[in-house]
Structure formats: C-alpha cells, structure tokens
Amino acid sequence: MYRCVVTGVCQTAINTNTATLTIHAPATINRQPASAEVCAGGGASFIIAVSSVATVNYDWQQSTNGGTTWTSLPSTMSPVLQFVNLPLSYNGNRYRCIVSNATCSQRETSAVAQLSVRANPTVGLSAAPTTTLLPGQSTTLTANPSGSTGGVISTNWTLGGQPYSPGSGNTVVATIANLGVYQVGVRESWPSGLFCSALSSSVTIAASASDRLFIFPSPNDGNFSVSYYNAGGVSSTRQLVIFDSKGARVFQETFPISGPYTLLPVDLRNAARGIYFVVVGDAMGKKLIEGKVHLR
C-alpha cells in the first residue's frame, strides 16, 4: 500500500488517500503435454498442468501440416485434451496449448506434442484342399498377414483356443492327429512398446466318418499305420491282430484310442515280404473290421 505525505512551511503535514498496488501473476506451465502413440480406433489424451491463482484459460490448438499453421479446437477449456476412436488420418497431427488467466493477459504456449496413429494389421486364414480329413490325408492351413507399416510383424497360432507352435512360417499341415479349431493372431510391434494386433477368422479341421479300414502306406516295407473310425470319439481301447498268409499270428497289441481316429503304429520290418491280414477288434476283442496289407 502507498500514500503521499505533503508538508510545507505554513501548514501541518497532509496525508493522501492510501493506494493499493496489485500484481497479477501470469499462468505458468509446469507440466508439458507429451506425445502419444496409439493404434487406430484407440484413444489418446494430452495433459497440461498450470500454476495460477486466477482462473486459467486453455486454448488447445491443432496442426495438420507439421506445425506450419495452427487451428484452435472448440470446446477445449480444460487441462486435458482427449480423443477416442482415432482414425488413421490423425497420424502426424501436432497439438499445443496456449494458457492465460482471467487477470493477466500474458499468454504462455506449451511444447508441441505429436500424435502417432498406427494402422491395425490384418490376417486371413484358409485351408486347402479341404477342411475334412480321413486317415492318411492332410490339408494345409495358410495365414496371410498384412505387411509391415514400419513395425515388426509376428504371428501366433492357436488350436482349440490354446497356443500352438507348429514351427516358424505362416503354414500348418493338419492331419487327423491335429484336428480342431485353428486361428491366427498377428501383431505389429513398435520400438516404443506399442503393438497393434488382430485375429483371423477361425477354421475348423474335422474328421470325415468312414466305414473303411485305413492301412497306409500300402504297399510298404513293414512300417505302417492302421486306423478305423471311432464313432463318438470316446476314449477306449482297440485290439490289433495281424496274420500271415498261412494264418499264423505275427502281431498282436492293444492300443488306447480317443477322438474319431487314432493311428495304430505297426512295425513288421523283420517279417517276410508278402500279403498279411489285419484284424481290428474292440476293447473286448470282438472283430470290427479286417483288411489286407502288402509288405514288399
């Protein structure tokens, strides 16, 4: 507070009225907005923190040409600028905030924050030549992930909802040994730690019902597999007996089975070359089917 005291030779001192000096501090930025990186369709926020006794005015601005020109954004009188469901077209936009307060016209401009919007990858999944198999048949599942847009592309397979590691690459060979629902995930990873991902549609590889006895390969060198349809796919056992052309039993074994088909391995490489008779029985030994195999 201030006043003036006036004195002279003829009068007593006279005091002026008291005057108050008020100094208004400008708004001061103490937290700058940080750049953001998101996947397309995601959200991002830019935050600024300001010190001010008086009410702060926030003027968020956007540049779509690398900072050459700026446009004020409407309805952004807040320390937080928030976006949801960002399109890829926002990639590279820049943002800043100009702050002031109600009592001081001095304005302060924040640092510039950049928005990076990354494209989401895509992946297709197909099977050829078929999605239904018999013993001895196979089909190839092929994943077709989109190319890199600057990050590192990786894929992962699942079978029946569980991680499946058939080896590297984008193809998997399916047989009756690995039936089920296949799906592929694709991920594009960026140095910041951000990753954008997608899932393919699912492809089901199933078994075809058949009343045939499958013996393959045939002819063979004595090392072959036998399989017969297991209706209902319940877990049980099967008996496998093999006879030579004279009726002598040369092989007998009981195998656990599950699912529609189980491959029963046979090794007769030490047996003589010729025609052998294969008999498949149920858990009690009752004959289900019989066939022939040629060892040569």
Is 213-295 the same fold as 28-118? Answer: yes
How far apart, in whole angstroms, are the C-alpha atoms of residue 202 and residue 157? Answer: 11
Q: What is the pLDDT of residue 255?
A: 98
What is the DSSP code (8-state) at residue 14? E
Which CATH fold would you assign to the domain 28-118?
Immunoglobulin-like (2.60.40)
Q: Which two tokens stand for residue 121?
A: 């990858």
Work out the angle at residue 61's Cα, subtended by the Cα atoms of residues 57 and 66, and round it to the nearest 5 degrees. Answer: 155
How far apart, in whole angstroms, are the C-alpha atoms of residue 180 and residue 204? Answer: 6
H and E: helices and strands count for the chain: 0, 28
Q: Hunting for tokens 């001081």 — which residue is that?
A: 104
Is the bond leading into 217 cis (omega within 30 degrees of zero)? yes
Which CATH fold would you assign to the domain 213-295?
Immunoglobulin-like (2.60.40)
Residue 90: Cβ-neighbour burial (10 angstroms; 0-12, 13-18, 19+): middle
Q: Hunting for tokens 């006895």 — which residue is that?
A: 213
Which residues, including other chains, have CB under 8 Å from residue 167's CB and lie 6 or more apart?
none
Q: What is the pLDDT of residue 15?
A: 77
Backbone angles phi, psi at 88, to 5 degrees: -65, -25
What is the DSSP code (8-state) at residue 103? S
CA atoms within 13 A of residue 141's CA, in its CB half-sphere: 30
The domain spans of the chain are: 28-118, 123-207, 213-295
Q: Residue type for 9, please?
A: V
* 89 to 10, 73, 124: CA distances (angstroms): 83, 17, 24
Q: Are 209 and 173 in contact (CB under 8 A)?
A: no
Which residues, including other chains, have CB under 8 Å from residue 9's CB and lie 6 or more apart?
none
Which residues, including other chains, have CB under 8 Å from residue 15's CB and lie 6 or more apart?
3, 4, 5, 6
Which residues, including other chains, have CB under 8 Å from residue 210's CB and lie 6 or more apart?
134, 229
Q: What is the pLDDT of residue 260?
A: 96
CATH 3.10.129.10 fits 123-207, yes or no: no
How confident is the model over 99-118, as pLDDT tens digits? Answer: 999 888 899 999 999 999 99
Which residues of the chain fall below pLDDT 50?
Answer: none
